[in-house]
Structure 1
């Protein structure tokens, strides 16, 4: 953090204006009465990068469950607005459409602040959790299903193998949500697309730009088809076109990432001469290792292990995978000979080498003694600055937490909840503890009342414990009682995670992507068989994901044209990564075929979510948003191409 950033955050925590002053329109209920806005605290921590109510504000927008019926049930969609850094921002913000389906975003304020800070020079950035997802789905938590299946869920948390549990939970959760009146077929990408302009209108943005990643690109494309008014431009990052059977093609992106790893070497005379037919040799090596694994760094390396090592480059947050491509052909050549030196170095984290000032200084042989001393002083100063910045950030986080506690001290509700936990631990029999947990969970959707809490303690505890808890319940005010009931969700987050599994994804995928055989067990098997792997690895990859069985419990809801390519002349920027193992590098170009005003970029050494992998992608994205109609200079893309390690130890750069 800079001194100015630190001072601004410090002053804002102590003397900042209230949200009503900084965001008056939102605090007053939003700009569109059809979609009321309510301000709520942002998920902590917000500091040191943001200040709740000043640089960022959070809340909910109420939208109809069915946009064709404005009087239908209301869904509360949770949002974040990050204010532009400029004192004179442009009026069209960027709205982020997260992946998944079921990925969520608004509970990760710090992460979003980091990801999109470069876009805030002149624009606000908006994010919201899609309907039925994370913070936009508190009333869709299946606590009745949790209570009904509490014992096997606890057993699974303890390590038990219960393969049928997920199917049971999915079935029971569907029934519970239907009984509570949710119209599950309305949880689809078309309704999601109609939510986008509703949220933006509520927040006061008639015109806006879209940044979608993964499933968010599918949603962005549907906005372009179903609700294009107000959309100024669209960035599609890691594209999932609607016409692709995403679940049948689960391993297509992995395969393309492998081919892309070796393709520059294959097309370069020097590299291809050193490593002839290297792509096919890699596929053959996978099969050989699956049959006869090697040992490296204390682990057994099978074909699946090597497959996973290549796939790990998809994760932008793991710096140890950066530069892996440089060594890929040499690694294949070594493993073919049964040598594991390179692989051992990779598994131990020694390769690829991680750059550092100390390493650069050690390799700078042409420095004089005085220059070396000055360089070391600079390195020491940078290290101290980094430590000081981290210390300031930690202190501001703690300050934020302390201020929150002082401004909203713990209520009797929290105290009683802690007492419940202690009393539960005192029950001697597991069956008794499970019975209490079951009844406690069943309170989640009851009207909060002290009477219900009294019934709970009198049912499950002895006279002395029940009397002590009853005396505490008698002291609770209405807000304390509400707090106890709200803590049911917080207290059982771990149980809820097991219960949900992939339910949020299934809610979308099973109802709209498993229509008329578009994705099917037969299609999945046929696709895997055509990818070019040997029989052993093909068999390993062909293990059918549980999604195919679970989707049998949903009723598919077909919609006209939903699985067709989107045709549009809205300005579009398409980002794809060569080593993306979640959305294939070729899918971006496929989507662009019917987008007449689009520009596409394929980034080397880039996995899922190109924006976070390189400054090049960030700069191209920012340039596009400034002027969507201009031709973007993509010359920085070629600099991302890595050289290959040759058999003689030299590095050879290839042409793009």
Structure 2
């Protein structure tokens, strides 16, 4: 952020009213009389440069629970964020980001993630994201508030039993999970309408309500499946699409849990064979890897005198799907060979033992070494001064971010909401140790505190809560504060309750419910335990044993749901909409080959493979965002291989013992 940008940001924060002229139609209710827009406070934190109401705006679009009966009794509130383009002359077709999961959401952690990851697209376009139905902070319609509140202590400790013994030596969904789903259904919600087709119709309605006639989509993970369904069900308005981490509906995603790992190992072998030095040092690498895995299962692979667990061997390739300062990929052939040989293991000791599979960054050291070899003393002094300045600038950016975040919170608390909500929360927190000393039931306190999230946000309910859990001077003081609070401050307190309870509940409970709502209803019986076992055993690298428990638990949890398979949902999607599909070599969630597979019915598509990337390539390689940006600008353009070359696997490490 430049000094001028900082001054403009601070001036806008200090001003009492932002310039909301760019969003006046949304503030007035949006562009679709069927899908009402209601502006709300953006989820925190925000990026320092964002001004709510000027550079971004947030709110809710209300859509029918069932698009086939739009006048039905139920609606769903979808939380959105709209990031305004930084151009004075933006293209009219924005980028809509569709998140993964299903059920992950964009917004539980705040709107800053979207700002920081989609900045390049804002050069020329608005960027929109929304939490899909039964996802993130749009999960309210499928939340089992009663069961959640009663089991809050277990939820907060992540101590929920999701499965239990079925009495026949197998597993079934736990009573807790079944009670949760029963509560949702008893509320009148139709869970069969929480599926990818309804999501596709939601996306179109959201974009129309926000005032757009044409748009582009960037879909990630489950968002790619949703994008393909949009092409089939609601293509009107969709100009082009980029799919990253592709999960086409034709793939049996849960039968193939172990396929991405097997594919990654196949690629590692192929990349080594394609490099002359690697192939000479580590011939027949695939056979060696299988041998190491099989012998590890018998306790025959030793490291430092102890058997190396088979699961550790299986997951060595998984580390490539994580973020690294420097790539561990070049070392893997040597590591597998050293375990196979049963002699000295210098590469394994270094990479697995000392580095923990996370090699240190060497770019700065390499640059300094090159500088010392080519510059005189004065030149080296300038290089060191430049590096010192860069570190200071980085520290200053972090301090600036913290300062602006604190200023934003201070202004909102003291000017926009009033100070009494924060004061009540602070005094209530200070009184908790006295409650514990007096032998009060803190679990009951937490349960009732969480229950404040449901129902009307008024002073009466808050006063009742205080009367039930406090007494004496503390009770009198807290009740006096409630009596002095304005309606805005009362609402702010309830909002803080929601913010303090929901992150933990979301991470440990609701997110998993959201996942199950989708794949239990629409992916079964297309996937099954029997097909999972058969598919896993047939893989070229059948390293699936650590997936078996995951698969068994997943299928057991689905006993809590009725299945609602839809005819044609798992068929190939046919479309001529321009589409760029991106696979990643080390993706352990969606196999890299599925990007090419999904082009089968797409007559205007191109697929690329990014080697040094895990799940969702844009998170790993900056060139992916550059490539997507270029594609949105000209969807008819045939992209070159510049990004693929930029993200290629580095030369493989040849251990000293393997040299001729």
- Match status 1:643 vs 2:647: no
Preserved contact between residue 232 and residue 570 of structure 1 (Cα < 8 Å): yes
| Aligned equivalent of 1:43 | 43
CA distance in 2, matches of 1:189, 1:20: 34
| Aligned equivalent of 1:198 | 205
CA distance in 2, matches of 1:359, 1:314: 25
Identify if the C-alpha distance between structure 1 residues 496 and 41 changes in structure 2 by more than 3 Å, giving closer, same or farther.
closer
Alignment of 1:178-327 (within 5 A): 178-290=185-297, 291-292=299-300, 294-295=302-303, 301-315=308-322, 318-320=323-325, 322-327=326-331
Preserved contact between residue 620 and residue 633 of structure 1 (Cα < 8 Å): no
CA distance in 2, matches of 1:3, 1:189: 45
SS in 1 for 2:628: helix
Identify if the C-alpha distance between structure 1 residues 36 and 111 changes in structure 2 by more than 3 Å, giving closer, same or farther.
same
Match of 1:503 among 513, 519, 532: 513
| Aligned equivalent of 1:117 | 119
Q: Tell me by how many angstroms 1:530 deviates.
A: 1.8
Alignment of 1:527-538 (within 5 A): 527-533=535-541, 538=544
| Aligned equivalent of 1:143 | 145
CA distance in 1, matches of 2:163, 2:548: 18
Q: Which moved more, 1:195-204 or 1:607-616?
A: 607-616
Preserved contact between residue 163 and residue 553 of structure 2 (Cα < 8 Å): no
| Aligned equivalent of 1:128 | 130
Identify if the C-alpha distance between structure 1 residues 371 and 498 changes in structure 2 by more than 3 Å, giving closer, same or farther.
closer
Identify if the C-alpha distance between structure 1 residues 531 and 437 changes in structure 2 by more than 3 Å, giving closer, same or farther.
same
Q: Tell me by how many angstroms 1:464 deviates.
A: 6.2
Identify if the C-alpha distance between structure 1 residues 428 and 16 changes in structure 2 by more than 3 Å, giving closer, same or farther.
closer
- Match status 1:93 vs 2:94: yes
| Aligned equivalent of 2:333 | 329
Q: Tell me by how many angstroms 1:309 deviates.
A: 3.5
Q: Tell me by how many angstroms 1:254 deviates.
A: 1.4
Q: CA RMSD in A?
A: 3.0
Identify if the C-alpha distance between structure 1 residues 429 and 252 changes in structure 2 by more than 3 Å, giving closer, same or farther.
farther
1:290-341 deviation per Cα after TM superposition (whole angstroms, max 9, x unaligned): 4245446x997423223333212213xx324x42111111122222234332
| Aligned equivalent of 2:104 | 103
SS in 1 for 2:598: helix
Q: Which moved more, 1:369-378 or 1:58-67?
A: 369-378
- Match status 1:630 vs 2:634: no
Q: Tell me by how many angstroms 1:549 deviates.
A: 0.7
| Aligned equivalent of 2:590 | 583
CA distance in 1, matches of 2:341, 2:657: 17
SS in 2 for 1:643: coil
Q: Tell me by how many angstroms 1:481 deviates.
A: 4.5
Q: Which moved more, 1:302-311 or 1:518-527?
A: 302-311
Q: Which moved more, 1:382-391 or 1:236-245?
A: 382-391
CA distance in 1, matches of 2:278, 2:24: 62
- Match status 1:490 vs 2:494: no
Preserved contact between residue 292 and residue 302 of structure 1 (Cα < 8 Å): no
Preserved contact between residue 61 and residue 76 of structure 1 (Cα < 8 Å): yes
Identify if the C-alpha distance between structure 1 residues 651 and 562 changes in structure 2 by more than 3 Å, giving closer, same or farther.
farther
CA distance in 2, matches of 1:628, 1:553: 44
Preserved contact between residue 571 and residue 629 of structure 1 (Cα < 8 Å): yes
Identify if the C-alpha distance between structure 1 residues 565 and 420 changes in structure 2 by more than 3 Å, giving closer, same or farther.
same
* Ranges in structure 1 where 5+ consecutive residues have no aligned partner: none
Q: Which moved more, 1:248-257 or 1:631-640?
A: 631-640
Match of 2:346 among 333, 341, 346: 341
| Aligned equivalent of 1:77 | 78
| Aligned equivalent of 1:522 | 530
Q: Tell me by how many angstroms 1:423 deviates.
A: 4.9
1:252-301 deviation per Cα after TM superposition (whole angstroms, max 9, x unaligned): 111111211221212344432221111221222123334245446x9974
Preserved contact between residue 102 and residue 514 of structure 2 (Cα < 8 Å): yes
Preserved contact between residue 521 and residue 548 of structure 1 (Cα < 8 Å): yes
CA distance in 2, matches of 1:61, 1:524: 39
CA distance in 2, matches of 1:637, 1:152: 46
- Match status 1:399 vs 2:407: yes
CA distance in 1, matches of 2:391, 2:469: 57
SS in 2 for 1:70: coil
| Aligned length in residues | 642
Preserved contact between residue 294 and residue 302 of structure 1 (Cα < 8 Å): no
CA distance in 1, matches of 2:2, 2:500: 38
Identify if the C-alpha distance between structure 1 residues 489 and 464 changes in structure 2 by more than 3 Å, giving closer, same or farther.
same
CA distance in 1, matches of 2:313, 2:195: 37
Q: Which moved more, 1:4-13 or 1:585-594?
A: 4-13
Q: Tell me by how many angstroms 1:561 deviates.
A: 0.9
CA distance in 2, matches of 1:256, 1:17: 55
SS in 2 for 1:608: coil
Identify if the C-alpha distance between structure 1 residues 640 and 439 changes in structure 2 by more than 3 Å, giving closer, same or farther.
closer
Preserved contact between residue 241 and residue 580 of structure 2 (Cα < 8 Å): yes
* Ranges in structure 2 where 5+ consecutive residues have no aligned partner: 165-171
Preserved contact between residue 169 and residue 499 of structure 1 (Cα < 8 Å): no
Preserved contact between residue 153 and residue 495 of structure 1 (Cα < 8 Å): yes
Q: Tell me by how many angstroms 1:596 deviates.
A: 0.6
Preserved contact between residue 603 and residue 610 of structure 1 (Cα < 8 Å): yes
Q: Which moved more, 1:185-194 or 1:413-422?
A: 413-422
CA distance in 1, matches of 2:44, 2:427: 25
CA distance in 2, matches of 1:615, 1:472: 51
Preserved contact between residue 311 and residue 581 of structure 1 (Cα < 8 Å): yes
Q: Which moved more, 1:586-595 or 1:110-119?
A: 110-119
SS in 2 for 1:280: helix
CA distance in 2, matches of 1:11, 1:140: 41
Q: Tell me by how many angstroms 1:92 deviates.
A: 0.3
| Aligned equivalent of 2:376 | 368
Q: Tell me by how many angstroms 1:442 deviates.
A: 4.1
Q: Tell me by how many angstroms 1:192 deviates.
A: 0.3
Q: Tell me by how many angstroms 1:174 deviates.
A: 1.0
| Aligned equivalent of 2:560 | 553
Match of 1:541 among 543, 547, 550: 547
SS in 1 for 2:627: helix
Q: Which moved more, 1:621-630 or 1:283-292?
A: 283-292
SS in 2 for 1:492: helix
| Aligned equivalent of 1:10 | 10
| Aligned equivalent of 2:167 | none
Preserved contact between residue 136 and residue 511 of structure 2 (Cα < 8 Å): no
CA distance in 1, matches of 2:136, 2:430: 29
Match of 2:456 among 433, 442, 447: 447
CA distance in 2, matches of 1:591, 1:404: 47
Q: Tell me by how many angstroms 1:204 deviates.
A: 0.9
- Match status 1:432 vs 2:473: no
Identify if the C-alpha distance between structure 1 residues 513 and 427 changes in structure 2 by more than 3 Å, giving closer, same or farther.
same
SS in 1 for 2:441: helix
Q: Tell me by how many angstroms 1:648 deviates.
A: 4.7
CA distance in 2, matches of 1:427, 1:377: 56
Q: Which moved more, 1:599-608 or 1:471-480?
A: 471-480
